[in-house]
Structure formats: C-alpha cells, structure tokens
Amino acid sequence: MLVWKFFKKQWVVQMAVVLLLVSAIVVLALYGAYLNRQQELLAVRIQAQMPSGYMLAKTASLLSTEPALPPYRGMREPPITLVASWRREVLPSSLGSVLFSLLSEGFIPTFTLTQDTVAIPQGLAESFSLSVGEDITIKLGAEERRLKITHVHDGLVFGDSLVALTAISGGRNAFLYSEDPAELRSDLIRYAHRVFPQGALEDVESTTALAQEIVGANYAPAAKARVELMGFVTIAYLSSSLLAFLERRRVLAILKATGLKASELMAIIAGENSIAPGFAAILGLGVSTGVLLWLRAVGTGLTPTIGLIVSSVLGIVPAVVVGIIIPARFTQMATVNQLLFEQPIPMFYAQIRGLQRRYPAIETEVERGVRFVRLDVDNGEFFGFIFRKVGDTVKAGEVLAVQNDWAGLRVREYVAPVSGVVVRLQEETGFIGIMPENHLRVGGSE
C-alpha cells in the first residue's frame, strides 16, 4: 500500500519514465527488425549464388606454389567428394598484372566455363569498362592465350580475381568438397579439419551465419548508437529515481526511526521504482509489436518475432537495475540523521579494525602487545577526522577516525580493536597504536 501511495504521489514523473522506456523498447525493436531483414536479404542473395551442401577449403599457402596437404586416407573413404580445385597466380595480361584463379577441368561452382573463357569480378569490369564478349590476353609462361569474357561474378567465392579454365600443374591449394547424402554434415566438417588443420574452411551451406557476420561488421558503428541510447536511458531513469528518493528522505527517516528495518525500506524503494518499468514493459511489448505489424503490412518486410520483441524489452533491464539498486542502497546505508538533516549518504561503508599485513617498523611494539590500526594516508596526510590523541582511553569498537571518499559516497571508520590506551598516533604514517588494558595492569603490577 505504501509503495502504491509513493507511486501515485509522483504519477507525472512516473508516466514520463514509462514513456521514456516504451520509446527505448520500440527503437530497439525497430533496429533489431531492420538488421534481421538485412540478414535475410543477404542470406537469400548468397544462397542463390553459392552451391548448396558444399564446403570450400583453402590452405594457408593459397597464393604460393607450395603443394597442398594430401587428402587423408583412413580406414574408410571420407564422406565427401572432391569436385574441383584451383590455384591463384598473379599473371601478366592485357589489363596489367592481375590475380587469376586458374580452375581445373570440370569445375562448375555457379557458372559454366569452357576452355579459353574467363569470368571477371564486378569491380574490375567497372574499372576497365569491360563487358561480356570482349577478349583478354594472358601470358602463361612462354605461351599467350586469348580468353573471352563470358561471365561477370561478384566475388563471393573467388574474391577480386579473374577466373579462367586452364590446365593446372603443380600443387593445388584450394578445394571444393560436396558431402555424401548418406553421411552427416559433421563428418564432412570433421574430415575437412583433418585434411586442412591450418587452413580456412568456409561452410557454403550456412549462409545465414555468413550473412549475420557480414551485417554485423557493416553495422558495427550503429551498434555504438544503440549503446549510447541505453546510456541516455540509464542516466534519465536513474535521475528520476534519485529525485524521488530525495523528495521523501524525511518520510524514510520517520519510518526508520519508528523501527522499520533497512531491508523493508529497500523493498519499498525497489517496489516503487519497479512499477513504471513494469508498465513500460507491457506497453512497449504491445506498441513495438503493433508498429512492426503495421510496417510489415505496408510492405517493408520488417517482421515481429517473439525473440526480437523479448530482447527489446530485456534491453531496458540494465537501466532499470541501475535505477533501482542505487536509491535502494542509499536507503539501506543512510542513518536517521543523514535522512532527516539531508547529510551526504554513503553507498559503501567499511570498518577497519586492524592491520592487513605486517610492517617491520612497528614489529618491536607489536611484540610488546600493542594493537595497531593504520589510516589511509596520502603523502603523509590523512584526509579525514581523528577523534582521539595519545594518552586517551578507548573501548573496543570505539571509532578512532572517519574518512570520506568519492564525494561522500564511501565512508571508512577506523575502530579500536581492543580496550586500552592510545600509545602511538602518527598521522604521517597513519599508525594508531593501542596498549590493551590487560598489558597495562600487568605492567603496573611489575
């Protein structure tokens, strides 16, 4: 009931938060749907121009004359068939020195070549204003050959090289395999890895994964914009939740003074700050689905999916978590006086009751029974408050000094580890030494 009263009291701000989060969900859904559409289109384009069920294997020495690894022959024949192979060389031609992929006989990837024909990449065709039917002269050793352009390819398999059908001698270092329909595709992949352990394998069948990789690389700068959007949403939501906390500090102080536990106060703050995101998640789910359905109806091709919508809603979770945790943590750490008199409230609190390690400079005093606490000093100066001096009597657990850091967000209290008398206080080194009471009594009797 108290949570709902707090929420209604600031309903205007809460509705603004709902609008902000809903807008973020819709933007994330639209952006995700756009990327999915680009991946689908690219996958269809690749699938239409790549043979299905094939694997391309390239050795590390693709452009060298080193022989390729020999095909593996184990206890049984591998579950794949070598379709064709080729090597790449830079050859002199009528276009200058250009990269050629020289194919073996019978190589038919996505287009058919005959002897003395060539396929050229799209970029080279545009650079030299070449078209199908024209001739190119290449030189193979002492022999010159005139090749007719029969195809223009987009480089999905052969990159920016010219593709020519010719007799290949020497080492082969690029291979195209097709799988046996009776075997699993995992057998093809496992065999290819055994044949080409240091090579690069391209599964021609997994066009969706290839399209995702390409789209992800092309839209990497836009991913940064998505992160920046969520950063803005986080800051805006955190600001609203902190302002709501500050406005009811006195109410929280009264509740805390009446005996309400810190965990119960945290639950109140967390519950209030969760209502707006809950409304936003439900509303954002419906609005983003409706917008995407309308865009699909008008022919954009953007399609809503359950995974897309859910991921868009989950995209605001980090902002909501930050906006809930920080005010709740302030509520847990604040004392009644800090809430009532609007004093700085720490997020982190620590009590230091002893030494973390041994110090040779105080070993003699430690052997005499002196217990030490060390202040965090910077260049011989302690930026805090020391409440005791040499000769003062202290009780175990009594605060000796306090230090505020990070604009009051972190508080460290240095506490007396035992009851006794302060026998050493050096601000330059930070050591506070206390002689326990039992040692004093023993010393006095002697």
Q: What is the domain-level CATH number for residue 423?
A: 2.40.50
Q: How far is CA 337 from CA 239, 253, 259, 340, in A?
A: 23, 8, 14, 5
Residues 85 and 194 in one domain: yes
| Token pair of 56 as six digits | 């391309």
Q: At what angle do helices 220-247 and 249-257 cross, to 10 degrees?
A: 60
Classify residue 312: in a domain, yes or no: yes
Classify residue 210: in a domain, yes or no: no
Classify residue 339: in a domain, yes or no: no
Contacts of 403 (CB under 8 A, 6+ apart): 375, 376, 382, 383, 384, 385, 411, 412, 414
Residues 12 and 83 in one domain: no
Residues 375 and 431 in one domain: yes
Range(s) of the domain holding residue 438: 349-445
Classify residue 28: in a domain, yes or no: yes
What per-residue confidence (pLDDT) applies to 282? 92
Residues 291 and 391 in one domain: no
151 phi/psi in degrees, rounded to 5: -145, 155
Q: How many helices (H) and strands (E) does the chain have?
A: 13, 17
Residue found under tokens 């929420």 = 7
Give the span between the Cα atoms of 415 and 438, in whole angstroms.
19
The count of structural domains within the chain is: 3
Residue found under tokens 């009644």 = 336
Residues 134 and 164 in one domain: yes
363 burial via Cβ count (<10 Å: 0-12, 13-18, 19+): exposed
Residues 440 and 372 in one domain: yes
- The DSSP 8-state label assigned to residue 360 in this structure reads G
What per-residue confidence (pLDDT) applies to 284? 92
Residues 66 and 194 in one domain: yes
Distance from the first to the final alpha carbon of the chain: 67
Residues 233 and 186 in one domain: no
Classify residue 248: in a domain, yes or no: no
Residues 178 and 300 in one domain: no
| Token pair of 225 as six digits | 């914009």
Classify residue 49: in a domain, yes or no: no
Residues 31 and 60 in one domain: no
Q: Last residue of a domain, which of 275, 291, 325?
A: 325
What per-residue confidence (pLDDT) applies to 274? 86
pTM above 0.75, yes or no: no
Residues 136 and 190 in one domain: yes
Residue 412 CB coordination number (10 Å): 18
Classify residue 426: in a domain, yes or no: yes
Residues 66 and 164 in one domain: yes
Classify residue 47: in a domain, yes or no: no
Q: Last residue of a domain, which of 153, 175, 203?
A: 203
What per-residue confidence (pLDDT) applies to 169? 43
Task: Give 10-residue mean pLDDT values along the chain (446 residues).
Answer: 69 86 91 80 56 60 46 58 70 87 63 79 87 88 86 74 63 61 70 62 57 60 74 87 80 79 82 87 93 86 85 89 86 74 72 87 89 88 88 91 80 90 89 85 48
What per-residue confidence (pLDDT) applies to 69? 47
